[in-house]
């Protein structure tokens, strides 16, 4: 804990200094608006690097139908330093906004400028430093028009996601000031009925500059070089809502699943009815609960009312309520009053791999019994709500060792997760997000942790659909923890900050509570809140009917009301050897490690050449002490010194950039694999079992050299395939601590009749040891392991560097797991007593330099491709064959799907990759991808390996 806080102190100083430098050296760009941008490539191909078209000038048409909720389609934005007109003029219809920049419906200032081509690609080289930070030290205007034909319905402005604060104007009138519209997560609703006129209307936001050390917003800490605008802008939808005299708000379902039988589920439906008129109103609130259409959440409805479908509903209910003028009342429907709300044999939501992901839908309609003027009118819809939700039971008790242990629907779950990062400029792209979520599933991960920067609603809809668990929470070390983390960078709270924090918690709880994939909220990260702040959070969560566990911190901390966190944050965050993960101390495989990894993850050569200049690439492999802009702004993490020293000591000094990247992929494969394997093997231990691990991180928000299993262009290297191998459903693995060979079953059902074989080889392929164990049975339930055998301490004739091939076959002789290790008789030696918050020193290194002596071994391939026009996807099947005549294996053979230009076609999901083959062996792999990502090219496969020459073969 103290080490972790020291880390934050270090990076806080670095960020503060960086901010001062940017402020002192920045000027005003004065750039003119660019010409309309050319159409961009798909986001999965790194489209953030080129201007992206936005539709900001179009006026948003708002229907009159009660229950409609229409997001503004975009904005025109401009710095207040360049606008001399008054706020009343700027926010009035007809204002020309000449020379303003277009911005999308969710956009930071800098994201809009990048889309307009004002600044060069900040993901390449150090070009982000060319963007003047002074441009964002003054407020910016966001201006949008919307049209209303019928003003008889009431009109409300509903929004959140303002960074950092804003004055809000409608048709020349200020309706809110920065004192009330503050905080990235607070939600605001304003009745603008009296201001709205037929025809064109204008809403304008005067957005204040952001500073995450001063405001309860979003920051980046040591994740990446912070954007010069600090993400100031509007990053969630601003919605115009229409309703009759009675508004329907806060509709949700509280579900209680009968455990352990899961035979029934009690549903309590709640909603607030608000009379916005000056007269008493009698309203009938009616609703249904039933299965949601499709495999996941229903698509967002088109503007207009949603009718409550009775057909196929599990429950139908209604009640009349009389409301006094401007009265708000909460209405609840319980199973005691409406027995249909006690569902029999409910469709239970499960994480991926444990069951299905069915969703339910709540539909409510508030209809008025009399018009506002007193004339007779029966059943006139006033407002409607459609709310998907899931039914599941989640608990997270502390085990006997004090570690947090999650249980989903009564079944224990080993959390295998990764830290999630949004795009650095908070640009939202649903396809890009979905691609990354599919990658998480492909890696066998079941959980993603969001430390602050909590994504929009669609992210959680997708996570629910795919069965991915999420752990959202507040971020560390900025303003969010300033009152109780004295080592952070944030300023102390005012009374207004306490109010903003409570409002933020209330808004996020109401937004996330219906998502079955959300299994906790972490109200602290590096530290736990004090009693005043914690009570504010807990009161807000209780008022929102939050039923998932509340975790006080991601570190080993305790809060006054919630108690112990049951998590640890002991690192490492920089290089350690694979054997590190097996020792049950510091970051090793015991308890719940909320964020940890061996630090650097050097991407593929394709990605490196896209993100760095030739001179920077030369420095990358030649100078370990050089500051790497694409690593971190933190002085602790701004070089690759520890990583490069270990790489050279273990594998030999790199001879070229290509050799450096080749060795990096091998090193990252073995290290990431060991991290996940150690936690999986120790999950069922009788003492100090592992209960969860979150790889820090799953992805990066920009082009990075560390903390990523997949890079920003969605390319896959050693770290990716090391994780995929470790987390395969039925897996055979080696223990670096005790030389054991174990079978880990990550599937729900048992596996019997298994055969495990381990063979040790010299690098030239000479066999030195071989043993087979038959008749193995491994119980089901996930994370269950069975030891098959233990390798002897010494093997006659075994060289210093050797290979271990582990094979697992089922009762029919079919190979279900193949796992190859490169090992040394000289172990990595750790100085545990000198461990600090980010790593444990290594005093001597394993000698793997013998791999450099492996003979060049060709691998041949035959491939074919089939296209599915209906889904727009293609599948390429490739069979690799060891084509050498000697005994040397082909180690870590990688296959990349490429276009005719040689550029990778991404994203792609491989059945397996980076495989190792011995003479006479072959392997058949499949790749699935969007046909359009070939960009009209015929598919080709680039095949390379540790000791195999690179060849490219057709795959059409």
Which residues are part of the catalytic machinery? 526, 595
Cα–Cα distance between 754 and 777 in angstroms, integer? 6
Of 789, 720, 785, 721, residue with least CA distance to 760: 789
- Between 495-512 and 531-543, two packed helices, what is the crossing angle to 10 degrees? 30
Cα–Cα distance between 811 and 788 in angstroms, integer? 16
DSSP letter for 15, please: H
DSSP letter for 464, please: H
Backbone angles phi, psi at 218, to 5 degrees: -135, 140
Cβ–Cβ under 8 Å, residues 325 and 304: no
Q: Which neighbouring-strand residues pair with 860?
A: 881
Strands 394-395 and 447-451: unpaired
DSSP letter for 65, please: S
Q: Positive or negative, the Cα torsion across 505, 507, 511, 514?
A: positive
Cα–Cα distance between 928 and 939 in angstroms, integer? 12
Cα–Cα distance between 595 and 568 in angstroms, integer? 8
Cα–Cα distance between 40 and 38 in angstroms, integer? 6
Cα–Cα distance between 149 and 782 in angstroms, integer? 58
Cα–Cα distance between 249 and 323 in angstroms, integer? 15
Cα–Cα distance between 189 and 205 in angstroms, integer? 14
Helix-then-strand count for the chain, H and E: 12, 51
Cα–Cα distance between 713 and 708 in angstroms, integer? 12
Backbone angles phi, psi at 39, to 5 degrees: -55, 140
Cβ–Cβ under 8 Å, residues 502 and 537: yes
Whether cis (ω within 30° of 0) applies to the bond prior to 431 is no
Cα–Cα distance between 209 and 40 in angstroms, integer? 29
Which run of H or of E encompasses 543? helix 531-543
Q: Positive or negative, the Cα torsion across 426, 429, 432, 435?
A: positive
Cβ–Cβ under 8 Å, residues 357 and 292: no
Cα–Cα distance between 278 and 324 in angstroms, integer? 8
Cβ–Cβ under 8 Å, residues 419 and 449: yes
Which residues are within 8 A (CB) of 869 and not within 5 positions of it... i.e. 6 or more apart?
none
Q: DSSP labels for 396-440?
A: --B-TTS-B-EEETTEEE-EEEEE----TT----HHHHHHHHHHH
Tokens of 687: 């003492």
Q: Positive or negative, the Cα torsion across 19, 24, 25, 26?
A: positive
User: What's the longest Cα–Cα distance across the chain?
Assistant: 99
Strands 784-790 and 740-745: antiparallel
Tokens of 864: 């074919």
Tokens of 428: 């939202």
Residue in the block written with tokens 């519209």: 181
Q: DSSP labels for 84-114?
A: -S-HHHHTSTT---TTPEEE-SSEEHHHHHH
Cβ–Cβ under 8 Å, residues 633 and 11: yes
């Amino acid at each position: 804990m103290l080490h972790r806080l020291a880390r934050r102190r270090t990076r806080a100083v670095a960020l503060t200094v960086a901010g001062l430098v940017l402020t002192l050296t920045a000027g005003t760009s004065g750039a003119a608006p660019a010409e309309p941008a050319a159409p961009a490539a798909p986001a999965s191909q790194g489209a953030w690097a080129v201007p992206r078209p936005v539709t900001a000038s179009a006026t948003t048409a708002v229907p009159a139908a009660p229950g409609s909720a229409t997001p503004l389609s975009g904005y025109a934005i401009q710095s207040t330093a360049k606008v001399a007109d008054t706020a009343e003029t700027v926010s009035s219809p007809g204002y020309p906004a000449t020379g303003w920049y277009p911005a999308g419906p969710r956009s930071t200032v800098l994201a809009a400028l990048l889309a307009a081509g004002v600044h060069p690609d900040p993901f390449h080289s150090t070009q982000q430093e060319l963007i003047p930070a002074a441009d964002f030290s003054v407020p910016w205007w966001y201006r949008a028009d919307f049209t209303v034909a019928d003003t008889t319905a009431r009109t409300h402005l509903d929004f959140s996601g303002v960074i950092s604060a804003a004055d809000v104007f409608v048709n020349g009138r200020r309706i809110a000031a920065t004192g009330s519209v503050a905080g990235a997560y607070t939600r605001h609703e304003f009745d603008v009925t009296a201001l709205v006129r037929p025809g064109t209307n204008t809403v304008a936001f005067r957005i204040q500059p952001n500073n995450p050390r001063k405001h309860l917003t979003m920051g980046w800490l040591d994740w990446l070089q912070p954007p010069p605008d600090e993400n100031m802008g509007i990053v969630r939808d601003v919605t115009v809502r229409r309703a009759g005299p009675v508004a329907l708000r806060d509709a949700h379902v509280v579900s209680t699943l009968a455990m352990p039988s899961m035979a029934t589920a009690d549903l309590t439906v709640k909603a607030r009815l608000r009379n916005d008129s000056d007269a008493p109103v009698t309203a009938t609130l009616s609703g249904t609960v039933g299965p949601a259409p499709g495999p996941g959440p229903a698509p967002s409805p088109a503007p207009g009312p949603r009718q409550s479908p009775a057909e196929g509903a599990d429950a139908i209910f209604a009640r009349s309520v009389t409301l006094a003028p401007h009265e708000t009342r909460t209405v609840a429907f319980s199973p005691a009053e409406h027995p249909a709300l006690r569902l029999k044999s409910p469709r239970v939501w499960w994480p991926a791999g444990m069951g299905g992901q069915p969703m339910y839908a709540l539909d409510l309609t508030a209809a008025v019994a009399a018009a506002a003027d007193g004339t007779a009118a029966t059943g006139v819809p006033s407002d409607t709500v459609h709310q998907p939700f899931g039914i599941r039971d989640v608990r997270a008790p502390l085990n006997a060792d004090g570690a947090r242990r999650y249980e989903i629907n009564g079944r224990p779950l080993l959390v295998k997760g990764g830290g999630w990062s949004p795009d650095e400029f908070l640009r939202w792209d649903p396809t890009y997000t979905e691609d990354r979520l599919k990658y998480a599933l492909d890696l066998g991960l079941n959980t993603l942790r969001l430390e602050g920067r909590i994504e929009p609603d669609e992210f959680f809809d997708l996570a629910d659909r795919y069965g991915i668990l999420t752990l959202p929470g507040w971020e560390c070390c900025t303003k969010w923890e300033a009152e109780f983390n004295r080592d952070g960078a944030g300023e102390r709270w005012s009374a207004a900050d306490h109010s903003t924090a409570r409002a933020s918690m209330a808004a996020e709880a109401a937004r996330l509570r219906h998502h079955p994939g959300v299994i906790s909220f972490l109200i602290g990260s590096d530290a736990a809140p004090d009693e005043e702040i914690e009570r504010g959070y807990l009161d807000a969560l209780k008022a929102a009917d939050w039923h998932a566990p509340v975790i006080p911190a991601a570190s080993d901390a305790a809060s006054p009301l919630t108690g112990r966190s049951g998590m640890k944050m002991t690192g490492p965050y920089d290089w350690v050897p694979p054997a590190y993960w097996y020792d049950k101390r510091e970051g090793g495989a015991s308890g719940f490690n909320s964020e940890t990894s061996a630090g650097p993850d050097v991407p593929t050569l394709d990605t490196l050449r896209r993100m760095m200049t030739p001179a920077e690439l030369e420095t990358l492999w030649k100078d370990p002490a050089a500051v790497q802009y694409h690593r971190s702004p933190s002085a602790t993490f701004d070089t690759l010194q520890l990583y490069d020293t270990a790489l050279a000591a273990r594998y030999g000094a790199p001879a070229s950039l290509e050799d450096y990247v080749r060795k990096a992929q091998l090193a990252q494969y073995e290290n990431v694999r060991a991290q996940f394997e150690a936690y999986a093997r120790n999950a069922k231990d009788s003492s100090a079992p592992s209960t969860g691990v979150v790889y820090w991180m799953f992805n990066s928000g920009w082009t990075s050299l560390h903390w990523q299993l997949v890079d920003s262009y969605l390319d896959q290297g050693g770290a990716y395939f090391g994780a995929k191998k470790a987390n395969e459903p039925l897996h055979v693995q080696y223990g670096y601590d005790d030389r054991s060979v174990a079978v880990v079953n990550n599937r729900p059902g048992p596996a019997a009749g298994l055969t495990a074989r381990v063979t040790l080889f010299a690098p030239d392929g000479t066999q030195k040891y071989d043993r087979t164990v038959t008749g193995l049975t491994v119980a089901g339930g996930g994370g269950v392991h069975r030891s098959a055998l233990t390798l002897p301490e010494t093997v006659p004739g075994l060289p210093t560097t050797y290979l271990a091939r582990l094979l697992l076959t089922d009762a029919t002789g079919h190979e279900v797991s193949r796992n190859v290790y490169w090992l040394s008789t000289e172990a990595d030696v750790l100085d545990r007593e000198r461990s600090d918050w980010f790593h444990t020193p290594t005093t001597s290194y394993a000698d793997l330099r013998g791999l450099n002596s492996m003979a060049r071994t060709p691998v041949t391939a035959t491939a074919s491709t089939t296209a599915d026009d209906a889904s727009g996807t293609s599948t390429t099947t490739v069979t690799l064959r060891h084509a050498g005549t000697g005994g040397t294996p082909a180690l870590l053979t990688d296959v990349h799907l490429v276009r005719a230009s040689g550029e990778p076609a991404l994203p792609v999901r491989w059945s397996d990759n980076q495989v190792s083959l011995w003479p006479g062996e072959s392997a058949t792999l499949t790749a699935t991808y969007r046909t359009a990502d070939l960009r009209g090219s015929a598919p080709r496969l680039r095949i390379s390996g540790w000791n195999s020459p690179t060849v490219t073969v057709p795959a059409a």
